[in-house]
Amino acid sequence: MVLFLGTKSYFYSSPVLCKSIASNSNHNHAAHSLDAVYIKRAADIADSSAGFTSPHPNFGCVIATPSGTVAGEGYLYAQGTKAAEVLAVEAAGGFSKGSTAYLNMEPGDCHGDHSAVSALVQAGIKRVVVGIRHPLQHLHGNAIRSLRGQGLQVDVVGEDLKSKIMEEARKSCLLVNAPLIHRATSRVPFSVIKYAMTLDGKIATSSGHAAWISSKESRNRVFELRGRSDAIIVGGNTVRKDNPRLTARHGGGHTPIRIVMTQTFNLPEEANLWDISDVSTIVVTQRGARRSLQKLLASKGVEVVEFDILNPREVMEYFHDRGYLSILWECGGTLAASAISSGVIHKVFAFVAPKIIGGKNAPSPVGELGMVEMSQALDLIDVCFEQVGPDMLISGFLQPVPDLVPVIPSEDETFAIDPSITPYDSKIIFFYKTWDPYGAFSNFSPHPIQMPDGSGSYVTWSSAHKFVGVNEPVAKDCVEKIKSAKSPEEAARMGRSMQKQRSDLVRSDWEGLKIDVMYRALKCKFSIYPHLQSMLLTTAGSVLVEASPHDLFWGGGREGEGLNYLGRLLMLIRSEFLGECSSPSESTCTAL
């Protein structure tokens, strides 16, 4: 764990202890470290306006002179205000000439406004470092192309600048605009669930009283979280029990709208949420529920939206279509469970107060999820711990922030990989667990192979390849252990754990090699097990996607954010079999 410094953000807050974001490693790429620092700084300042404006793209720009000193900074305050780049160039004045501009995100330059690009060009900026490309398809790459076209050197993190520290810097850029990125890659807004619970895991007493569990400091923090959201949502029971206001009382700025989700419409006629003088309220309900009360609330100015099927996913898709980027769920455990199991929650903020209230029937933050074993628990990613007043705030992601690299191949791309797929008419076959109908496509299927490892010896599991040829006794020992692993899972686990403990033992050319090793292993597997080859051939015309929610390189991710290299290779091999191409791996590998 490491202290994550100097960041003021909705998504990770300072000072915090974060479980897996940063590393203590020596920075091998010294040349990158300054770039990384300034890209992170650009992400930090981009966040400055959040909470005071509706969640919109957050842009920050830092201008550093050739000697590495900051000459100017700027961030976009709101849509339509001066671009971050313009402000930074103005602040840097004459020092801009020959300097480097660091941008957390490629400028949008939408609606014909090219002010960001023009400002950088006219100021004589020599080099631009871009944290992430613009996530919206129609803007993706435009500004970068334009800057390059006008002679500036543009380095995009993750493309032109690759290293561990650059990867961390890039992550800051992804996080600061997570809601926008979600909008570009998903059909639901970015959703955060926040709750306050006692040390014994209760969000209210058995009678339903909850004011207050968390401290004043924590509640002030919630006001800030509200200000960073487009809407706050609660269930009908929270309205009945708490009569909440759900306003962002953080000293001005953006005020989110309030949403109530009720099936029965069994709501009070008088409630704080029906006072829409400062901010509006939308009640979403089941079609036909208590029309007379609907009319009464409508007469007070409350908007009522009826759904044929009222569930969190339908509701989130509806608000996504209405343009909402980010939603804060402040409901009780009943609705929370429903939202989590619908897969619409991306981040959790849990305020834990050092209090014990007890109560067998006192509610907890998340109701029934139907899980029976701890192995089913949802693991949070990038967990942060922060003390807020007397409370502990624990936050983390339930789903990774999507990467921006296009994912499951586009129709054109797929056609190029495998011409048997007709664009516009392709079916997607997902596989993941070995017991799925196409589970044999998984690398964990029980079909061992013997494949040459490049050093004259044979290995069963491709995981061993990443340590092959490394002249270190531990690496050699690891290769031997992986070779004798009982199952592919065990081999993969050993490989992962060794890589985690001793990343220096992974062969230096592994990144460039792993796709080829996987290709050869798959070609071998599907060559020597005829029934697997037949199964692969029966999928001709379909897109194959490994539905791994965790592995964003080999798998397709939960929401299609993964690169799906396993699926791509299988499609390639399928088309080779269909075209009766042969490959050397067929003759050099065997079944066990």
Ligand X SMILES: Nc1c(N[C@@H]2O[C@H](COP(=O)(O)O)[C@@H](O)[C@H]2O)[nH]c(=O)[nH]c1=O
The binding site for ligand X (CB under 6 A) comprises 196, 210-214, 218-219, 222, 234, 238, 242, 244-247, 330, 351
In angstroms, rounded to a whole number, what is the distance separating the alpha carbons of residues 10 and 397?
Answer: 12
* Residue 35 or 224 having the CB closest to ligand X: 224
User: Which two tokens mark 169?
Assistant: 């810097």
Q: Least distance in Å: CB of 272 to ligand NDP?
A: 14
In angstroms, rounded to a whole number, what is the distance separating the alpha carbons of residues 588 and 451?
Answer: 7
Q: From the CA atom positions of the chain, what is the Rg in Å?
A: 27
Q: Least distance in Å: CB of 329 to ligand X?
A: 9
* Residue 310 or 381 having the CB closest to ligand NDP: 310
Contact flag: residue 213 with ligand NDP (CB under 6 A): yes
Contact flag: residue 310 with ligand NDP (CB under 6 A): yes
Out of 85, 330, 386, 546, which one is annotated catalytic? 85
Cis bond leading into 212, ω under 30°? yes
Q: Which stretch binds ligand NDP (CB under 6 A): 20-28, 42-50, 128-136, 329-337?
A: 329-337
* Residue 349 or 432 having the CB closest to ligand X: 349
In angstroms, rounded to a whole number, what is the distance separating the alpha carbons of residues 397 and 175?
Answer: 11
Q: Least distance in Å: CB of 45 to ligand X?
A: 28
- Of 544, 302, 297, the residue nearest 417 (C-alpha): 544
* Residue 147 or 357 having the CB closest to ligand X: 357
Q: Which stretch binds ligand NDP (CB under 6 A): 175-183, 328-336, 502-510, 512-520?
A: 328-336
Q: Write a three-state SS string for 202-258.
A: CCCCCCCCCCCCCCHHHHHHHHHHHHCCCEEEEEHHHHHHHCCCCCCCCCCCCCCEE
Q: Which helix (H) or strand (E) holds 195?
A: strand 190-198
**Binds 562, which of ligand NDP, ligand X, none (CB < 5 to 8 A, cut-off by type)?**
none
- Of 412, 428, 451, the residue nearest 589 (C-alpha): 451
Contact flag: residue 198 with ligand NDP (CB under 6 A): no
Q: Least distance in Å: CB of 204 to ligand X?
A: 7
In angstroms, rounded to a whole number, what is the distance separating the alpha carbons of residues 494 and 485?
Answer: 8
Beta strands in 360-440 (DSSP E): 381-388, 391-397, 427-431
Q: Least distance in Å: CB of 240 to ligand NDP?
A: 7
Asked about 270 being catalytic, the answer comes back as no
Q: Which stretch binds ligand NDP (CB under 6 A): 133-141, 205-213, 462-470, 514-522?
A: 205-213
Q: Least distance in Å: CB of 227 to ligand X?
A: 12
Neighbours of 295 (CB within 10 A): 10
**Binds 222, which of ligand NDP, ligand X, none (CB < 5 to 8 A, cut-off by type)?**
ligand X
Beta strands in 110-175 (DSSP E): 127-132, 153-156
Q: Does residue 470 contact residue 439 with C-beta atoms inside 8 Å? A: no
Q: Indicate which single residue of 53, 311, 426, 583 sits in contact with ligand NDP (rule: CB under 6 A).
A: 311
Q: How far is CA 333 from the centre of its chain?
A: 24
Q: Indicate which single residue of 20, 153, 266, 588 sits in contact with ligand NDP (rule: CB under 6 A).
A: 266
User: Which two tokens mark 472?
Assistant: 């270190």
Amino acid, res. 308: D
Contact flag: residue 535 with ligand NDP (CB under 6 A): no
**Binds 261, which of ligand X, ligand NDP, none (CB < 5 to 8 A, cut-off by type)?**
ligand NDP
Q: Which residues contact 428 (CB under 8 A, 6 or more apart)?
A: 408, 542, 543, 544, 545
Count of residues engaged in binding ligand NDP, rule: CB under 6 A: 30
- Of 201, 99, 198, the residue nearest 153 (C-alpha): 99
Contact flag: residue 208 with ligand NDP (CB under 6 A): yes
**Binds 310, which of ligand X, ligand NDP, none (CB < 5 to 8 A, cut-off by type)?**
ligand NDP
* Residue 181 or 315 having the CB closest to ligand X: 315
Contacts of ligand NDP in 158-197 (CB under 6 A)? 195-196
Amino acid, res. 83: A
* Residue 281 or 420 having the CB closest to ligand X: 281
Q: Indicate which single residue of 79, 264, 497, 587 sits in contact with ligand NDP (rule: CB under 6 A).
A: 264
Contact flag: residue 210 with ligand NDP (CB under 6 A): yes
* Residue 184 or 392 having the CB closest to ligand X: 392
Reduced to 3 states, what is the DSSP secondary structure of residue 429? strand
Q: Which stretch binds ligand NDP (CB under 6 A): 129-137, 204-212, 537-545, 555-563?
A: 204-212
* Residue 334 or 434 having the CB closest to ligand NDP: 334
Q: Does residue 261 contact residue 284 with C-beta atoms inside 8 Å? A: yes
In angstroms, rounded to a whole number, what is the distance separating the alpha carbons of residues 474 and 467?
Answer: 9
Q: Which residues contact 83 (CB under 8 A, 6 or more apart)?
A: 59, 61, 74, 76, 107, 113, 115, 116, 119
* Residue 293 or 475 having the CB closest to ligand NDP: 293
Q: Which residues are catalytic?
A: 85
- Binding residues for ligand NDP, rule: CB under 6 A, are 195-196, 203-204, 208, 210, 213, 234-238, 241-242, 261-264, 266, 310-312, 330-335, 338, 363
